[in-house]
Amino acid sequence: MFTPLELELLRLAAPIAAALFASSSGIAVAVIKWYWGSFVERIDALGGSVSAMDKKLGVFEADVRAQLAEIRSQTQHRDDVMAGNVAARIQRIEGICETQHGIKPLRRHDDTGGAASWLQSSDITGIGAR
């Protein structure tokens, strides 16, 4: 089947082919190991970045919540002051109307009497809905 020359060449080439195969296998294993290690390092770095971003977002959220609470408090205070001012002004106007015109305004909650209709109670001239 094989000639003596071919057999001799196979005997000489077999160790070289085995060495080349072993070294290429070793190189392939080293490359795969390096790639996997770098992949794991990148994933770890990504996890660290996500963790740092989560901490920054937590601080940002706390700041926004504090600012919103402050704005809500200030707005509520302004609304309360404005409602108090409006109520005091309406009471003064009603007091002047009662004094000057002898009529009691029908806008207070404790008033038991009522106007005949909405048109009469909202008519500032006093001549509507007769």
| Structural domain includes residue 113 | no
Q: How many domains does the chain have?
A: 1
| Structural domain includes residue 58 | yes
| Structural domain includes residue 3 | no
| Structural domain includes residue 108 | no
pLDDT in tens, 50-78: 999 999 999 999 999 999 999 999 998 88
| Structural domain includes residue 96 | yes
73, two tokens: 């408090």
How far, in Å, CA of 122 to CA of 90, rounded? Answer: 15
11, two tokens: 């005997």
Predicted pLDDT of residue 130: 47
| Structural domain includes residue 39 | yes
Residues 106 and 115: beta-carbon distance below 8 Å = yes
| Structural domain includes residue 2 | no
Residues 10 and 1: beta-carbon distance below 8 Å = no
DSSP symbols for 69-130: HHHHHHHHHHHHHHHHHHHHHHHHHHHHHHHHH----S-STT-----SSHHHHH-SSS-S--
How far, in Å, CA of 16 to CA of 10, rounded? Answer: 10
Reported for 82-89, long-range contacts at CB under 8 A and 24+ positions apart, including other chains, are: none
The whole domain housing 70 covers: 11-101
Radius of gyration over every alpha carbon of the chain, rounded to an integer in angstroms: 46
pLDDT in tens, 116-130: 455 555 555 555 544
Query: Average pLDDT, stretch 29-33?
Result: 93
pTM exceeds 0.75 for this model? no
How far, in Å, CA of 74 to CA of 71, rounded? Answer: 5
